[in-house]
């Protein structure tokens, strides 16, 4: 589900340079490492009519982006069944199981992911996956992408006091990795995730893999990129390298 990304109008001359020397990068999973939203959307389109949601009609992509994308399942359970949380949780569990069946062996990395992976490894940076996804989903996506040995730790929103958009998962990642927020930045693709990273006090590079620019910009990312090959990203990384070298 790729929404037009266009060009980010904000000034991003040196959005990451102040982080030098860089210690770590934190990554969201869904929509950031791989374009998984189409499979989540398809799963909701199959299941929601069965419970009579939206008068039995499939939701639109716009509705999915505005109300569902990036949200934690505890919140979605209440959203769909405000008076029956257990029934809501059962719906989200069924949806995640369907997502895994739909996505298995079909997930593709976001363009440039392995180029960035090499850069991270070459620089000896610490790294964590920080996600609102259930563990089974996170492990499926990470292993399918061949990144099981790449991440030092996987932090789940469900294992924190509060999931994204609260900062707790990103603060926990900093604590586990033993790195400073002043030398760490984040990759995210959702409004919820960007808000969590900003609230945790770190710059967030937003990806327009599944959400429109105007919504992402409202969450105040450092800048937006189309994918991991975007020249804006590499200009920022190169400048960060230059500043670290001069220091």
Sorted by sequence, the CB contacts under 8 Å of residue 73 that are 6+ apart come out as: 89, 92, 93, 96, 132, 134, 158
Could you please report the per-residue DSSP string of the chain?
---------S--SSTTGGGPSP-EEEE--BTTTB--HHHHHHHHHHHGGGGTGGGGPPPPHHHHHHHTTT--HHHHHHHH-TT-HHHHHHHHHHHHHHHHHHHTTT--BPTTHHHHHHHHHHTT-EEEEEESS-HHHHHHHHHHTT-TTT-SEEEEGGGSSS-TTSSHHHHHHHHHHT--GGGEEEEE-SHHHHHHHHHTT--EEEE-SSS-HHHHHHT--SEEESSTT-HHHHHHHHHHHHHHHH-
Q: Which of 30, 35, 168, 189 is catalytic?
A: 30
Active site residue 30: yes
Q: Which of 11, 28, 105, 189 is catalytic?
A: 28
Active site residue 55: no
Catalytic residues, by residue number, are 28, 30
């Amino acid at each position: 589900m790729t929404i037009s990304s266009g060009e980010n109008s904000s000034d991003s001359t040196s959005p990451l340079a102040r982080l030098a020397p860089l210690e770590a990068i934190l990554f969201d999973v869904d929509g950031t490492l791989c374009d998984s939203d189409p499979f989540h959307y398809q799963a909701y389109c199959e299941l929601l009519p069965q419970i009579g949601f939206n008068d039995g009609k499939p939701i639109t992509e716009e509705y999915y982006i505005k109300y569902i994308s990036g949200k934690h399942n505890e919140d979605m359970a209440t959203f769909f069944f405000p008076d029956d949380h257990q029934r809501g949780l059962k719906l989200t569990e069924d949806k995640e199981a369907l997502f895994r069946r739909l996505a298995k062996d079909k997930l593709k990395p976001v363009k440039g992911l392995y180029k960035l992976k090499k850069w991270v490894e070459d620089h000896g940076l610490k790294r964590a996956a920080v996600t609102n996804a259930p563990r089974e989903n996170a492990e499926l996506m990470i292993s399918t992408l061949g990144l099981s040995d790449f991440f030092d730790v996987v932090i789940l929103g469900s294992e924190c006091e509060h999931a994204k958009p609260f900062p707790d998962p990103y603060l926990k990642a900093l604590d586990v990795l033993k790195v400073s927020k002043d030398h760490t930045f984040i990759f995210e693709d959702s409004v919820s995730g960007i808000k969590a990273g900003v609230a945790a006090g770190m710059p967030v590079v937003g990806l327009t893999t599944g959400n429109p620019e105007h919504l992402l910009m409202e969450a105040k990312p450092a800048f937006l990129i189309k994918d991991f090959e975007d020249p804006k990203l590499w200009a920022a990384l190169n400048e960060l390298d230059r500043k670290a070298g001069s220091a």
